[in-house]
């Protein structure tokens, strides 16, 4: 399942670099409306609809999101994509609105969606039971809200945003942007005894040293398995 799609057609090159054929993508979860997460979906809809028309894509494309986001996706697609492709929505491209605490089976995995209680735009996260019985949770791209504890607690894997180092908070001002630092994300995982923490949604000013710097700061607050993946890096769950 593809989770969010980036801010434009860069999703195409990222999929190519990762060796993931567009034809293999059939399930997408969209968390919220911000452009850096959403606009790549419009490109995917257009390109996959094109492949459908040419007989180069088997099956359907399923997109999951909260109900308000469905209307936003439909509006942007209607305004920017040719009608012959837009009309594939409802025929072979399906946008499924999901509710708070709703459970669905996607690709054989039990997935439960939850509202992260965003301070900016309505946003859903999800928790998923992996085939090995471990619980994987994506907590969205804003700081953890205690109301989400029933979903986050007990996770063996937590995907949590960390906009910057705590030591760089004056430079990047994460709190003004409603984001966490490495420190807060790691303190959360430590407090909930989560064994594996993946930090994502970071600033991009020092990518060459990000893994080293974020790991070093994170280990001051968290004693589990801390991962700071580079683009394209594969993590075995």
pLDDT tens per residue across span 55-76: 999 999 999 999 999 999 999 9
User: Are residues 76 and 160 part of one domain?
Assistant: no
Longest pairwise C-alpha distance within the chain:
54
CA angle 206, 208, 213 (to 5 degrees): 70
The DSSP secondary structure of 217-232, one letter per residue, reads HHTTT--SEEE-PPTT
For the chain, give the percent of residues with pLDDT over 70.
Answer: 100
User: Are residues 29 and 79 part of one domain?
Assistant: yes
Last residue of a domain, one of 98, 120, 142: 98
User: Are residues 26 and 108 part of one domain?
Assistant: no
pLDDT tens digits, 7-62: 999 999 999 999 999 999 999 999 999 999 999 999 999 999 999 999 999 999 99
User: Are residues 203 and 107 part of one domain?
Assistant: yes
Q: Residue 28 belongs to what domain range?
A: 1-98
User: Are residues 155 and 91 part of one domain?
Assistant: no
Last residue of a domain, one of 67, 98, 129: 98
Measured CA to CA, the distance from residue 78 to residue 163 in angstroms comes to 33
pLDDT tens digits, 118-158: 999 999 999 999 999 999 999 999 999 999 999 999 999 99
Q: What is the number of domains present in the chain?
A: 2
- Residue 41: exposed, middle, or buried by beta-carbon count in 10 A (0-12, 13-18, 19+)? buried
Residue 35 sits in a domain of what CATH number? 3.60.15.10
**Assigned token pair, 133:** 């019985």
User: Are residues 122 and 80 part of one domain?
Assistant: no
CA atoms within 13 A on the CB side of 212: 4
Q: How far out from the chain centre does Cα 101 lie?
A: 17
User: Are residues 129 and 57 part of one domain?
Assistant: no
């Amino acid at each position: 399942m593809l989770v969010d799609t980036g801010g434009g057609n860069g999703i195409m090159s990222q999929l190519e670099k990762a060796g993931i054929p567009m034809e293999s993508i059939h399930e997408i979860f969209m968390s919220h409306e911000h452009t850096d997460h959403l606009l790549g979906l419009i490109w995917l809809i257009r390109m996959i609809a094109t492949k459908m028309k040419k007989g180069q894509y088997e099956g359907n494309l399923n997109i999951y999101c909260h109900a308000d986001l469905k209307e936003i996706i439909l509006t942007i697609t209607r305004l920017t994509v040719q009608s012959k492709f837009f009309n594939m929505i409802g025929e072979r491209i399906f946008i499924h609105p999901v509710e708070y605490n709703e459970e669905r089976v996607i690709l054989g995995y039990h997935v439960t969606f939850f509202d992260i209680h965003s301070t900016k735009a309505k946003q859903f996260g999800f928790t998923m039971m992996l085939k090995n019985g471990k619980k994987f949770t994506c907590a969205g791209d804003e700081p953890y809200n205690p109301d989400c504890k029933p979903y986050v607690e007990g996770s063996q894997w937590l995907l949590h945003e960390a906009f910057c180092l705590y030591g760089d908070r004056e430079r990047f001002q994460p709190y003004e942007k409603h984001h966490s630092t490495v420190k807060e994300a790691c303190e959360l995982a430590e407090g909930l005894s989560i064994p594996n923490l993946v930090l994502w949604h970071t600033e991009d000013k020092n990518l060459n040293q990000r893994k080293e710097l974020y790991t070093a700061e994170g280990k001051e607050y968290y004693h589990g398995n801390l991962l700071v993946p580079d683009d394209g890096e594969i993590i075995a769950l």
